Chain A
């Protein structure tokens, strides 16, 4: 009887050890970070008023916002994501092209997706110019694109 009890206790201890960690890295897959600058004074951040952001064929991520930086998700199962940035009624199409790369992180976090060979296309309506600061998106520590308007 005592032996059976000991065995049961051992089993409980072992089965309770199953989940040992939780994914604390957040976010795992980086988003694209854009910052908006003044086109005349290119080191000066400048808010975009009445900003609407949506990917073509999808719901809006930002509605009537006034901000100088946004972070937006990229489509990991395609090689490009087409976004529409709208200031008031003027729509500017902004396309991001990339190669998604699955990279293993850990048991609890699974795989993240990094974006290599990133390039951008803009049809420059209200956006005057843009400058990519990197061609690899693997973190969210700094802006990936500077937008001048």
Chain B
């Protein structure tokens, strides 16, 4: 019984291999007849999630301009420049961070396009740098007793703070109209260095977003951008 099974399968495998070989031959004869060129150039845009976030919440203001330049078929140099101001309300503190930032790095497009489409599923790395000031608007010492309650204390502002971080991102870019792109991406950030105010901690850095206790953070971008093509390759 098994003998018949095995011989049947052997026959099947051989038959399939032959079929596969023929297919490759027919494909390769058709290849290279048309080459689809894709545009190279500089792409500039704006992150629209930040103004929207500013309109919805009272504690946030921000603007981010994005740009990238295609250096290889799959590789882009990318940068973001922005301004952010956020008030962080915690149980015992209320603080505002305000400043500018720049992120510089590259995107690698891992998506193989059909025909002449220019869509992207990309992974990227950024080095981030921000310059900001931090103000403790008020804080209430955590005395956890009602016998001698504590009063809110108004505290000062610390200037000339900065933060450095690394950022890993993944996202998609879709060409919706000719040379016009819509992009969404998420990023995971790892703090490398933060100049902290004395007797306080930076809870939010522009460009980084909220800095968690572990020194990490998450970001989200939703950008509209326009490609200015220089050449086609």
A: residues with CB less than 8 A from B are: 3, 6-7, 10-11, 13-14, 17-18, 20-21, 23, 26-29, 31, 55, 58, 61, 73-77, 81, 102-113
Which residues of the other chain, A, contact B90 by a CB distance below 8 angstroms? Answer: 107-108, 110
A-B complex: 3 closest residue pairs judged by Cβ atoms: A110-B92, A75-B148, A28-B142
When C-beta atoms are compared, the residue in chain A nearest to B212 turns out to be A20
Q: Tell me whether A55 and B218 are in contact (CB under 8 A).
A: no
Return A103 CB to nearest CB of chain B, in Å.
Answer: 7
Stretch at the interface among B13-21, B104-112, B156-164, B197-205: B197-205
Which residues of the other chain, A, contact B222 by a CB distance below 8 angstroms? Answer: 7
A103-B199, A110-B93 as given contacts; A10 in contact with B186, CB under 8 Å: yes
Which residues of the other chain, B, contact A17 by a CB distance below 8 angstroms? Answer: 210, 212, 218
Q: Tell me whether A112 and B174 are in contact (CB under 8 A).
A: no
Residue from A10, A31, A102, A110 within 8 A of B91 (CB atoms): A110
CA A55 to CA B140, docked complex, whole Å: 22
Return A124 CB to nearest CB of chain B, in Å.
Answer: 25
Residue from A23, A55, A105 within 8 A of B147 (CB atoms): A55
Residue from A7, A104, A105 within 8 A of B184 (CB atoms): A7
What range describes how many residues of B lie at the interface? 20 to 34
Q: Tell me whether B141 and A110 are in contact (CB under 8 A).
A: yes
How many inter-chain residue pairs (CB < 8 Å) link A and B?
Answer: 95
Q: Tell me whether B141 and A111 are in contact (CB under 8 A).
A: yes
The main secondary structure of chain B at its interface with chain A is: loop
A104-B200, A104-B201 as given contacts; A74 in contact with B148, CB under 8 Å: yes
Residue from A20, A73, A74, A112 within 8 A of B142 (CB atoms): A112
Q: Tell me whether A113 and B141 are in contact (CB under 8 A).
A: yes
Q: Tell me whether A27 and B140 are in contact (CB under 8 A).
A: no
- Find residues 152-181 in chain B having any chain A CB closer than 8 Å to their own CB: 153, 172, 174
Q: Tell me whether B220 and A11 are in contact (CB under 8 A).
A: yes
Is B55 among interface residues, defined by CB-CB distance under 8 A? no
Q: Tell me whether A104 and B199 are in contact (CB under 8 A).
A: yes
